[in-house]
Amino acid sequence: MKTYYAKPGEVEREWLLIDATDVTLGRLAAAVATILRGKHKPQYTPHVDTGDFVIVTNASKIKVTGTKAESKTYYRHSGYVGGLKSETFAEAMAKHPERVVERAVQGMLPKNTLGHKQALKLKVYAGPDHPHAAQNPRTITLEDK
């Protein structure tokens, strides 16, 4: 019996819609990263992008457990002396809740060119509306609600 490896040209992609209302951030990010990588499919191949497109709506309504809303901090550095910038989870959710979800998912993807390509298939929106209705996305629910 030979091992099957998926070829990039024969991968069939699907559009999936996830509503992030009252879903824990880490559990949402883990489920989305699994779908983006294609690990939910039987033809998963580690070196080929076999994942599906994921649309996450209502990103502004995610929740975190414990005291993470006050204590979790996001850092970035400009590259200059004294260029360290930081913002708390609450500040980030007030300004741009989409980036919070994107950053959590990107932290669970591989740190290479394949991971960057997989991250491009993630579409996150703060509200319930999205411009991908023409792709006929299939709605899925996460079991941890």
Domains of the chain, CATH where assigned: 13-64+97-140 (3.90.1180.10)
Q: What is the pLDDT of residues 66-107, one digit of tens each?
A: 999 999 999 999 999 999 999 999 999 999 999 999 999 999
pLDDT on residue 129 = 96
Rounded Cα gap, residues 81 and 17, in angstroms: 42
Which tokens in the block code for residue 124? 């996150």
* Residue among 41, 36, 56 nearest 119 (CA): 36
* Buried/exposed code over 86-117 (b: 16+ C-beta within 10 A; e: otherwise): ebebeebbeebbbbbbbebbbebbeeeeebee
DSSP assigned state of 65: -
What is the pTM assigned to this prediction? 0.92
- pLDDT for 1 equals 83
User: Hey, is 34 helix, strand or coil?
Assistant: helix
Opening angle at CA 43, ends 105 and 36, nearest 5: 15
* pLDDT under 70: residue ranges of the chain: 144-145
